[in-house]
Copies of this chain bind each other. A is one copy, B any other.
Amino acid sequence: MSKTLKIALIGLGARAVGLLKFVIYNQKDIEVVAVCDTYADRIDSIKALAKKKRRVEPRGYLDYKEIIEKEKDLDAVIIATSWEVHTDIAIAFMNAKIPVGVEVGGAYDINECYRLIECYEKTKTPYMMLENCCYGNLELATLRMVREGIFGEVVHCKGGYKHDLRDEIAFGKTNRHYRLAEYQKRNAEIYPTHEIGPISKILNITFGNKFDSISSCSSKALGLKEYIATRKDKFPEIKYLENATFTQGDIVNTVIKCHNGETILLELDTTLPRHYSRGFEVRGTRAAVFEDLGKSYFDTNEKMRVKTRSLKYAQRKYAHDIWKWYKKVGVRGGHGGMDYLVLNAFFEAVRKGDGHMPIDIYESVTWMAVTALSDLSIKSGGKPQEFPDFTNGKWKDRKQQGSGFYFLEK
């Protein structure tokens, strides 16, 4: 039995409830001792959930700073707030030497990224972006294929957040969902990490490779307008938005050029009718994986013959150790099991206590920067932006520090 970790959870929206219900409250070795939200009723709901799950009732806080003052034996904090306050809260806890796990989200500006790096380099408090898709079955099988040379050399990767969120956004006032405000003031690749996380692991970003430049282009923003126009009579609670302005383009295409010559295409696609997909694709000189199609391709040495296989075949044949183990012990938790894996990756690293994280702050900040830079690129009419090197040159021979079952070896 591992040491019980005492953790705080900041931000009690739908994400936090999911993490508690499907992962944390099923683990005896994690104790949520403090929770925080600016809405008091959310705290009450979590307390009720704890009771229902027969777990210790957490102390409730309306202000995260009070947690830092009053909770003196925290092992870690998980931040699942709206994107906008991730960094301020993370920095406060890092300064208090409490290891930080932050839910996914992009940066509003590059300064935010530098503030995190500066704080980390001063405090050495571990910081990890809880990017669950790095632990996806497909993503990890593909990572193994890359490491074993099955792709030959990887040349191009592709991913997207393709998720029709029109209801979540339009009903944002009712739902108290922060996305509504985001779509009314921004226009950027605002949700890149589900794709850029796993792709960065594949391309060794910050470990011998880096992003050199990034450019983004946005379509017009008509999806939400049309959604509201066609639903406002049936759902009067969204009628107030009928003349609202939405700034966030329906489709944002982002292209990143890597130092070692690979390209990455990201597609953000959240306000038009479609199916859900992360459109994960990895393309090498000897093989290819296409999530949307459910297909994989393996080259032969014949003049023209490429073997076509199902994606499931590739996932089975090249199953990653983490998933082999996971299927044996039983897949659990939300989002196809990824949430359990990423949280336990964080918890394992916190327990080990050597200061290293399976997704470290240089990687996390690099992924967050995609949002800030895509914003600048769109504002400049699509001009490529130079990608800052947050490692300050260390990317050239940086090796992953730390180790453990959940560490995704370079």
Q: Mark A198-234, 1 if CB is under 8 A from B, else 0.
A: 0000000000000001010111101101110011001
User: Does chain B have a CB within 8 A of A288?
Assistant: yes
Taking CB atoms, residues of chain B closer than 8 Å to A383 are 383-384
- Copies of this protein in the assembly total 2
Taking CB atoms, residues of chain B closer than 8 Å to A265 are 253, 267
User: Does chain B have a CB within 8 A of A381?
Assistant: yes
Q: Mark A304-335, 1 if CB is under 8 A from B, else 0.
A: 10101000000000000000000000000000
Q: A217-B215, A226-B286, A306-B274 are in contact. Are A156 and B250 (CB under 8 A)?
A: yes
Asked whether, in the complex, the Cβ of A156 is within 8 Å of the Cβ of B219, the reply is yes
Q: A217-B255, A272-B283 are in contact. Are A231 and B263 (CB under 8 A)?
A: no
Cα-based distance from A234 to B301 in the complex (angstroms): 9
Cα-based distance from A269 to B295 in the complex (angstroms): 17
Interface residues on chain A, number (Cβ under 8 Å): 63
Cα-based distance from A235 to B226 in the complex (angstroms): 58
Asked whether, in the complex, the Cβ of B222 is within 8 Å of the Cβ of A153, the reply is yes
Asked whether, in the complex, the Cβ of B253 is within 8 Å of the Cβ of A382, the reply is no
Asked whether, in the complex, the Cβ of B274 is within 8 Å of the Cβ of A167, the reply is no
Taking CB atoms, residues of chain B closer than 8 Å to A230 are 299, 301
Asked whether, in the complex, the Cβ of A226 is within 8 Å of the Cβ of B153, the reply is yes
| Nearest CB in chain B: distance from A295 CB, A | 7
Asked whether, in the complex, the Cβ of A219 is within 8 Å of the Cβ of B285, the reply is no
Taking CB atoms, residues of chain B closer than 8 Å to A272 are 155-156, 283-285, 288
Taking CB atoms, residues of chain B closer than 8 Å to A249 are 263
| Nearest CB in chain B: distance from A213 CB, A | 6
User: Does chain B have a CB within 8 A of A407?
Assistant: no
Residue of B nearest to A252 (CB): B263
Q: List 29 A-B contacts (CB under 8 A).
A: A152-B226, A155-B219, A156-B219, A156-B251, A167-B303, A215-B215, A215-B384, A218-B263, A220-B261, A220-B262, A225-B285, A226-B285, A226-B286, A230-B301, A231-B302, A250-B285, A251-B283, A255-B382, A265-B267, A272-B284, A273-B298, A273-B299, A274-B288, A274-B290, A274-B306, A275-B295, A275-B306, A292-B293, A382-B384
Measured CB to CB, the residues of A under 8 A from B are: 152-153, 155-156, 164, 166-167, 171, 213, 215, 217-220, 222-223, 225-227, 230-231, 234-235, 249-251, 253, 255, 257, 260-263, 265, 267, 269, 272-275, 283-288, 290, 292-293, 295, 297-299, 301-304, 306, 308, 381-384
19 additional A-B residue pairs with CB within 8 Å, beyond A213-B382, A274-B283: A156-B251, A156-B269, A164-B304, A166-B304, A215-B217, A217-B255, A217-B263, A217-B384, A220-B260, A222-B285, A223-B285, A226-B286, A231-B302, A255-B382, A273-B299, A274-B290, A292-B292, A382-B384, A383-B383
